[in-house]
Structure 1
Amino acid sequence: MTTQQTASRLVELCRSGDFETAQKDLFSNYAISIEPHATPAFDKETKGLDAILEKGKKFDSMVEKRHGITISDPLIATNSFACIMTMDVTMKEGGRMQMAELCVYEVKDGEVISEHFFM
């Protein structure tokens, strides 16, 4: 799969809210996920697909309601792509909030090997 194909599929799945399928289908078993900083809920770096999937489940457990999600078309480079994701969610603790982040993905051999989020 090319970087363009990987990016298009990831954006398609994420727009439908199917983050877990995107990760299972497109991420390397050795992928790394990097947050802007560590928080009480999440480490700065999460290594390995199983840990990334668990991180997604943990985030989902913190969300009371999803009101909307928007993901831009991807901007493609040779082995990487970026998109902007905005989410309107009500957290179980913290109330309703708008979250926006730049999501940068690195691709090798048709698989995502890293994701890096910038707020």
Structure 2
Amino acid sequence: MTTQAIAEKLVAHCRKAAWESAQRELYADQAVSLEPYATPAFAQETKGLAAILEKGKKFEAMVETMHALSVSDPLVANSSFACTMSMDVTMKGAGRMQMTELCVYEVKEGKIVSERFFT
């Protein structure tokens, strides 16, 4: 699968908040996820698909209500792509907040091998 095809599939999954489906279909087993900083809920670096899936489940468990979600069309290069993701979300115990991230992905051999989020 080309980087363009992977980018389009990932964006389509994300627009439906189908994070786990996207990860299972598009990520390499050895993928790495990098957050802008460590938090009590998440490490700054998560290694391996199983750990990334677990991180996604933790995030979903923290969400009380997803009021709005938008994902931009991807900007695609040879082996990487980026998009922005914005969420209007109420987190359990933390209230309602707006979050926007720049999401950058690297692709090798037809799979996403890294994701990195910037605020």
Q: Give TM-score scaled by structure 2 length.
A: 0.99
CA distance in 2: counterparts of 1:63 and 1:5, whole angstroms: 29
Task: Name the residue aligned to 1:91.
Answer: 91
Question: After the TM superposition, which residues 13-52 of structure 1 pair with which residues of structure 2 at under 5 Å, given as runs?
Answer: 13-52=13-52
CA distance in 2: counterparts of 1:103 and 1:37, whole angstroms: 14
Task: Name the residue aligned to 1:117.
Answer: 117
Shift of 1:15: 0.4
Question: After the TM superposition, which residues 45-60 of structure 1 pair with which residues of structure 2 at under 5 Å, given as runs?
Answer: 45-60=45-60
CA distance in 2: counterparts of 1:94 and 1:85, whole angstroms: 20
CA-to-aligned-CA distance 1:26-78 (integer Å, 9 cap, x gap) = 00000000000111110000000000000000001111011110000000010
CA distance in 1: counterparts of 2:70 and 2:110, whole angstroms: 24
One-letter code aligned to 2:39: T
Q: What is the aligned-residue identity percentage?
A: 62
Shift of 1:93: 1.4
One-letter code aligned to 1:90: T
One-letter code aligned to 2:102: L
Q: Give TM-score scaled by structure 1 length.
A: 0.99
CA distance in 1: counterparts of 2:88 and 2:110, whole angstroms: 30
CA-to-aligned-CA distance 1:91-118 (integer Å, 9 cap, x gap) = 0011000000000000001100000000
CA distance in 1: counterparts of 2:17 and 2:42, whole angstroms: 21
Establish whether residue 62 from structure 1 lines up as the match of residue 57 from structure 2.
no
Structure 2, unaligned runs of 5 or more: none
Shift of 1:17: 1.0
Q: What is the RMSD of the two structures over their aligned residues, measured on CA atoms?
A: 0.4
Structure 2 counterpart SS, 1:90: strand
Structure 1, unaligned runs of 5 or more: none
Query: May I ask how many residue pairs the two structures share in their alignment?
Result: 119
